[in-house]
Amino acid sequence: MKGGVLLEPKYKRVIIKLSGEALAGTTSHGIDTPTVQSICSQIKEVFELGVEIAIVVGGGNFWRGRSGEGMDKSTADYMGMLATCINALGLQDVLEEMDVPVRVQTAIEMKQIAEPYIRRKAVRHLEKRRVVIFACGTGNPFFTTDTTAALRAAEIDAEIILLAKSIDAVYDSDPLVNPDAVRYSELSYIDVLNQGLKVMDSTATSLCMDNHIPILVFGLNEPKNILRAIMGEKIGTIIQEV
Ligand code: GTP
């Protein structure tokens, strides 16, 4: 409420991209329950505002495609997809514990564990007020979970990708290494591609550019940031057409 006027969320349907590392908190490996509870309570808060939420989760807290040095790249990537599934089930469990209805859909069929990804069913779940978690990336090696977020956003007509990171915005270099790193509040897709900024891989960025999907990059460190992002507050870095 501001000046007696109820504030409305800026977005009706969003994709929240959570990295695996975000779920590990300071432990840097596996799932840190208090961290996941904190993220899920933020998700619950925006869910209760009526926002339709789909989540794409990474798996880097268990395994990254590039962890498999010397391994066959496809095999390493498939192992990463299984890691995203562990995280999806962990998120589902905590959200359900908070009375948020959730459906997990996997891009690789494992139907004893969760339902397979079916676009129309995912959209129906959103319309029926359920959070949908997309697991197993795109189901293909050589594609990242950022690319999954871009693909699913295009498929389900999400208005924006909320790219929650451990860093609060996009910089021209790593601010932890370079104290003079320049912080961006707005960028075009082409800036990201031309400058080789490490915010998303080029496949994900191009997919967003071609389908006009804005990406808001922000830090998960601030406990209200998902809510602030949904309300349209100017936080982090917005990547869009300029
Ligand atoms: P509506 O039909 O829209 O009401 O959706 P629903 O998800 O409530 O109904 P459904 O009968 O499809 O699913 C009931 C529960 O079973 C949900 O928790 C689903 O996630 C789960 N479920 C559905 N299909 C599968 C599947 O193929 N495998 C697994 N493991 N679970 C499934």
Return the pLDDT at 3.
53
The helix/strand count (H/E) of the chain reads as: 8, 11
Nearest CA to ligand 1 atom 26: 115
Residue 88 CA, ligand 1 centroid: distance in Å: 15
Q: Residue 111, exposed/middle/buried by CB under 10 A (0-12, 13-18, 19+)? A: exposed
Nearest CA to ligand 1 atom 11: 115
- Give the nearest ligand 1 atom to 103 CA: 20
Determine whether the shortest distance from the Cβ of 115 to ligand 1 is under 6 A: yes
Nearest CA to ligand 1 atom 17: 103
Return the pLDDT at 66.
75
Q: Residue 68, exposed/middle/buried by CB under 10 A (0-12, 13-18, 19+)? A: middle
How many degrees, rounded to 5, is the angle at CA 209 between CA 200 and CA 181?
40
- Give the nearest ligand 1 atom to 121 CA: 3
CB 217 within 8 A of CB 158: no
Q: State the 10-residue block means of pLDDT for the chain, 242 residues long.
A: 67 97 90 96 97 97 84 95 98 98 98 98 98 98 97 98 94 94 97 95 98 97 92 96 88
Return the pLDDT at 221.
85
What does pTM read for this prediction? 0.95
- Give the nearest ligand 1 atom to 125 CA: 3
Residue 115 CA, ligand 1 centroid: distance in Å: 6
Which of 52, 110, 49, 118 is CA-nearest to residue 84? 110
Return the pLDDT at 6.
57
Amino acid at 14: V
Which alpha helices (DSSP H) does the chain contain, by range? 20-24, 33-47, 73-97, 119-127, 145-156, 189-194, 202-210, 225-230
| Probe residue for ligand 1, chosen from 89, 91, 115 as the CB with the greatest number of ligand atoms within 8 Å | 115
